[in-house]
Structure formats: structure tokens, C-alpha cells
Copies of this chain bind each other. A is one copy, B any other.
Amino acid sequence: MAKIVILGSGVMGTAMTVPLNDANHAVHLVGTHLDGDIIQEIKKNRVHPLIDFRLADTVELYTYDQLGQAMKGAELIILGVNSLGIKWAAEMLGPLLSPQVPVLFLTKGLVGDGQNLLILPDALRVLLPAQHRDNYRLAAIGGPMLATELAARRNTSVVITGSDQALLDELADLLRTPYFHIWTSTDQIGVEVCAALKNAYALGVGLVTGWLEKKRGPEDKAALFNPAATIFAQSMLEISYLVDRMGGQMNSVLTLSGAGDLYVTCLGGRNSQMGRLLGLGIPYAEAKVKHMRNITIEGAEMIRAIGPTIETMLDRGELDAAAVPLLRTVVAILCHDAAAKIPWKEFFAGPQL
């Protein structure tokens, strides 16, 4: 039994209380500065407003200003903030985090500084106090884990990644339950790039659905699996290219962090729902406000954040435009309100891997 703090009471952070509680840990859930209403709501009836299950009575609840109290004696910090909240998290954790306490990222994403892309653990590390910078023990989770299913104790398989195999083994042993299956991988770049990109590419799979729904006649009820599968395949190829470019390994693309997470995100995710709205021709800002106002669309938010960096890398020839026609399409739609259009002829034309 360990004392574990989860920072961020979104659906994923909240769902994680279930396996942690089942593994007999003392679970402390801390809302961010944006989660005040959620923590209040959970305190009332032990149910999160966006994910329908009852939190165990033993889970202790905190607001962000109580983080110091929550972290006292904590043996593991799990980071469940939005990917745009890394800077905030660094400011909050900086003064409180002792370097020997591991930080595990539930948060998935990439950060762009205008010139290059960074995985989140690397982005956090440079924001933490300089004197301990090289000593922080950071790891991250990848793989197909929809929050609602994890909370319902569905068999869920993930991979914990980081550079220190001993830490990975320690974390896997800590978190494993009979339904929460855990593997480890030191291919941090591969796992993290897959985990981040799958949101953007699932949005692409949704895109073709919306695009075809709009084009077809009202009497046409045939499914849209063939076109979606084309986008899925092109996504796998582009993810492989990008992982390879950034120094990750093919094994991560083929397994839980790549193929598995892309699959689950296409089937059950919010990103593919947003993609469908974009494919119907609704501009992002309107789709967000009218249809998905209070929902975080990780893929869309990440692409809006890193789109300019990707465009710079394309301009400089660091990314091959022919290898990523789908990514370019998604960037154009999300960053420049370009019309939804599927570039069929450009697919499968990049360099062979």
C-alpha cells in the first residue's frame, strides 16, 4: 500500500482511482485550478459530473490550493492534467516535489516551441527547479485506456514508459490489478509520440465520416468503414514515419501505444466525434462551442498548439511533406479553417519504412 496523489480530476484522473483503490493504495485526488466545480460535485455525491461511477469512500478529495497537504508523504504523483496544463503543473509541483518521488504522466501530448516538438516528460523536466532537474523520476502511460471502461474494471492494457527500467518495474508492480494489465517499455519517444498523435489521427478518421455523411444522399445508409479504414491505415503509416523521425521504435507503433490506442480512440473517443463535425464542414470554433463546449478535445487542442511548429519543420524540410498528407490536412483544417477535403491521391506515397 502506497500513498498516491493524482493531480487533475478530469475523467482519466478520476477513473484511475478505481484500479489504485482496488490495489489497496491510499488515493488522493486533487483538482486543478479549473476543476473546482468538479471536486465540489464529487464531494457532494461521490460521482464525477462527466463519468458515471461512484468513487470509493476511501478516495480523499482536494482542491489545488491543498496540493501541499495532499502531497505530504506521497510515494507517487500521477499527473492527469490537460496537455496544455504542463506549465501550470510545473509551477504547482516545483516547490513541493522531492526528486525521489516518481511522477507518472496520464497526460498525453506533444509540446511545440515553434522549432521542435517535445514529449511531455521532457517538457515538464525543463520547467521544474534547476537544481534537481536531472534527478526527477518521470514516467508516462501509453496504450488504449478509455476512462469509462477502466472505471468499469474492463480488462485494460497499458504500457508504462521511461528511461529507467527499475522505476518502470516498480510502477507496474504498484498499479497492476487483475483487470489492469501493465507492460513496460524504455522506448519513451516511441510510446509518447504514438500516444499524442493518435488523438490527432483519430480526428482524421472522424473527418472522413463527416465528409461522407455530408456528400451522400439521404437514402444511402451503407456504412463508412472502408473509407475510415483507409484513413486508419494512412494514420498508422504517418505515425510510423513520425516516430521514426523523432527517434522512436517500430515496436511501439505496432502494439498498445500505437495500433491499440489509435483503434480505441477511433471507436470511442471524443477526437473522432470532433473530426466528424469538422468533416461535416463546421469550423472548429463553432463545433466546439455549439456541440462539445465543456469537453476537452485533446487532439484538436494539441494540433492547434503544435501546428505552427509542424509547419516550420515542413518548411525546413525536417519533415517530408509527402510522408504526412493526412497530418497536413488536419493542421490546415484546425489551424486555418481550411475546407475538409480528403487527399486520397496523396496517401501511401511517402518514403518506404
CA A350 to CA B216, docked complex, whole Å: 45
Residues of chain B within 8 A (CB-CB) of A222 are: 148-149, 151-152, 154
CA A52 to CA B159, docked complex, whole Å: 44
**Which residue of chain B lies nearest to A184 when distances are taken between CB atoms in the complex?**
B348
CA A233 to CA B194, docked complex, whole Å: 13
**Which residue of chain B lies nearest to A148 when distances are taken between CB atoms in the complex?**
B222
Q: Is the CB of A348 within 8 A of B233?
A: no
Q: Is the CB of A155 within 8 A of B253?
A: no
Residues of chain B within 8 A (CB-CB) of A58 are: none
Q: Is the CB of A255 within 8 A of B236?
A: yes
Tell me, rounded to whole Å, the shortest Cβ–Cβ distance linking A301 to chain B.
22
Residue among A151, A256, A345 with max Cβ neighbours from chain B (10 Å): A256
CA A159 to CA B229, docked complex, whole Å: 13
* CB of A183 closer than 8 Å to a CB of B: yes
**Which residue of chain B lies nearest to A239 when distances are taken between CB atoms in the complex?**
B254
Residue among A159, A212, A233, A236 with max Cβ neighbours from chain B (10 Å): A233
Interface set, chain A 322-342, CB cutoff 8 A to B: 342
Residues of chain B within 8 A (CB-CB) of A220 are: 152
With A254-B240, A348-B183 in contact, is A263–B146 under 8 Å at CB?
no
Q: Given A157-B226, A236-B259, 10 more contacts at CB 8 Å?
A: A145-B226, A155-B230, A155-B342, A159-B348, A226-B264, A229-B260, A229-B261, A229-B267, A233-B259, A251-B352
**Interface residues of A, Cβ cutoff 8 Å to B:** 143-146, 148-152, 154-157, 159, 181, 183, 208, 212, 220, 222-230, 232-234, 236-237, 240, 250-251, 253-256, 258-261, 263-264, 266-268, 342, 344-345, 347-348, 352-353
19 chain-A/chain-B pairs, Cβ below 8 angstroms? A146-B223, A150-B226, A154-B224, A155-B226, A157-B226, A157-B233, A157-B347, A181-B230, A223-B268, A228-B267, A229-B264, A230-B256, A230-B260, A233-B255, A233-B259, A236-B260, A250-B353, A251-B353, A263-B263
Which 4 A-B pairs give the minimum distances between C-beta atoms?
A: A233-B260, A144-B229, A152-B222, A229-B264
